Amino acid sequence: MRDKPELLIPASSLEVLKIAVIFGADAVYIGGEAFGLRAKAKNFSMEDMKEGIAFAHSHGVKVYVTANILAHNQDLPGVREYFQELKEIKPDALIISDPGIYMIAKEVCPEIERHISTQANNTNYETYLFWWNLGAKRVVSARELSLEEIREIRAHIPDEMEIETFIHGAMCISYSGRCLLSNFFTGRDANRGACTHPCRWKYSIVEETRPGEYMPVYENERGTYIFNSKDLCMIEHMDDILASGIDSLKIEGRMKTALYVATVARTYRKAIDDYLEDPAKYRENMSWYQEQIRSCTYRQFTTGFFYGKPDETSQIYDNNTYEKGYTYLGIVWELKDGLCRIEQRNKFSVGETIEIMKPDGRNLSVKVEKILNEEGKEQESAPHPQQILYVALSQVPEKYDILRRKEDE
């Protein structure tokens, strides 16, 4: 068991990996172009993965690669080849759920740690010991576990074995993420990386003898847990999390933007460090953590199963519209002659007041003084997504700072 838990942050691309590293991650988990459960994420080519691992390692940060699909026969030949390639670029661990894929990894690249995905439904200490005896270093707990159950697992497994647990992000409601809805409704298999998130949709029931008469779905006393989950958020409960024996605190969101990743990483980094420095400091800064978490794109929050089985009021909500506090404008990649180079993500204009979001927790209000295109021609606004721009601000930012705009409530 670690003295200080790891903060594990998701990254959908090389750009987001670099931001996760700079904004406080101890480790980053990513997906390659195959065999991960986020097929709709940008994911990493082998070249990007190699660059990302080198960047992370240069900052003392680890990189884990997901290979956690539930494999079908036709998947298996490519798995071996994929692991041969990963063997050369040396990620710190592989995240695996399928026993067959696990054994291939153990054979092909035994020197790379193997972590067992939450997709394997890890709900008891005998399961942890099973994987430990097969050589797994770490097991990701099922989302259905309470803190009491996690503490009990910790007491029954070797000190050297690690527990990883989701503490923030979307909650897959079908058992530990083994969702059948996406495949049924759209033909896209959630267990092979192509989830369409049907648990986020709104539903009505139609009785077969009354076509066209739609009845809304309501939860009974047992809760209709298969629909519309709230997002998990444990920022207010780090005292309990840090006393539970968890080694790695995992943030969900491998399809999120750099702004979301930076905000959540920075906030949890500060909350963990503050609590370990002085629990009183953590409590004093609670309003700042709450404000930061609510400032990024988010849904209503829940503590999930950590304090016992949730009912329909704590797990289900009646509004599946995201609320938005800030708009992501771009990342500062380079500074030259007082101008910062960004790749535009959303429209902004000369004269606007925006914010520089810094890794150390500061948010600086600045004015956009000038916008130049790649040819050096001035323009009044930046309406074109992904355009390369050189921007003059009333205060010069630093490399890897994020530019964002606060939106009206």
CATH number of the domain at 232, please: 3.20.20.80
| Assigned domain for 208 exists | no
67 and 118 in one domain?
yes
| Assigned domain for 371 exists | yes
The answer to whether 37 touches 119, Cβ cutoff 8 Å, is yes
Residues 111-148: tens digit of each pLDDT: 999 999 998 989 999 999 999 999 999 999 998 899 99
Residue 57 and residue 233: Cα distance in Å, rounded? 28
CATH label of the domain that carries residue 387: 2.40.30.10
Residues 343-364: tens digit of each pLDDT: 999 999 999 999 999 999 999 9
Higher pLDDT, 296 or 186: 296
Higher pLDDT, 65 or 194: 65
Residue 403 and residue 392: Cα distance in Å, rounded? 12
379 and 352 in one domain?
yes
Q: Which two tokens stand for residue 150?
A: 């996690």
152 and 30 in one domain?
yes
Whole-number pLDDT of residue 115:
98
Provide mean pLDDT across the span 72-93: 92
Residue 174 and residue 26: Cα distance in Å, rounded? 29
Lowest mean pLDDT among 103-107, 215-219, 229-233, 402-406: 215-219
Whole-number pLDDT of residue 305:
87
110 and 50 in one domain?
yes
156 and 282 in one domain?
yes
Whole-number pLDDT of residue 407:
85
262 and 154 in one domain?
yes
What confidence category does residue 287 fall into, taking pLDDT thresholds of 50, 70 and 90? very high
Whole-number pLDDT of residue 392:
97
Whole-number pLDDT of residue 36:
54
| Assigned domain for 188 exists | no
330 and 307 in one domain?
no
Number of residues that this document lists for the chain: 409
Query: Mapping DSSP to helix (H, G, I), strand (E, B) and coil, where does residue 335 land?
Result: strand
| Assigned domain for 184 exists | no
Residue 178 has pLDDT above 90, yes or no: no
What confidence category does residue 176 fall into, taking pLDDT thresholds of 50, 70 and 90? very low
Domain boundary residue, one of 293, 315, 337: 315
| Assigned domain for 90 exists | yes
User: Which single residue is written with the structure tokens 């503050």?
Assistant: 274
Provide mean pLDDT across the span 377-396: 95
Provide mean pLDDT across the span 9-28: 97
Residue 335 and residue 257: Cα distance in Å, rounded? 22
154 and 122 in one domain?
yes
- Among left, alpha and beta (phi > 0; psi -120 to 50; other), residue 128 is alpha
| Assigned domain for 14 exists | yes
Whole-number pLDDT of residue 396:
95
Query: Mapping DSSP to helix (H, G, I), strand (E, B) and coil, where does residue 254 land?
Result: coil
Residue 189 has pLDDT above 80, yes or no: no
Whole-number pLDDT of residue 255:
78
Residue 222 has pLDDT above 50, yes or no: no
Cα within 13 Å of Cα(316), Cβ side:
20
150 and 37 in one domain?
yes
| Assigned domain for 78 exists | yes
Provide mean pLDDT across the span 320-343: 85
Residue 72: count other Cβ atoms within 10 Å of its Cβ.
Answer: 11
Residue 49 and residue 54: Cα distance in Å, rounded? 9
Higher pLDDT, 195 or 381: 381
**Count of domains in the chain?**
2
Whole-number pLDDT of residue 143:
87
Domain boundary residue, one of 283, 315, 347: 315
Whole-number pLDDT of residue 110:
98
> Which residue range forms the structural domain that includes residue 88?
6-176+227-315
340 and 306 in one domain?
no
392 and 337 in one domain?
yes
Residue 93 has pLDDT above 70, yes or no: yes
pLDDT more than 70, % of the chain = 80
Residues 149-188 as b or e (16 or more Cβ within 10 Å = b):
bbbebbeebeeebbbbbbbbbbbbbeebbebebbbeeeeb
Taking all residues of the chain, what is their mean pLDDT, rounded to a whole number? Answer: 86
CA 57 to each of CA 48, 53, 89, 110, 204: distance values in angstroms, whole numbers, following the listed order: 14, 6, 12, 20, 49
Residue type, 37: L
The answer to whether 256 touches 18, Cβ cutoff 8 Å, is no
Whole-number pLDDT of residue 170:
80
Domain boundary residue, one of 282, 315, 348: 315
Q: Which of 7, 5, 83, 90 is nearest to 52 (CA)?
A: 90
Quick one: how far is CA 80 from the chain centroid? Answer: 27
| Assigned domain for 222 exists | no
242 and 352 in one domain?
no
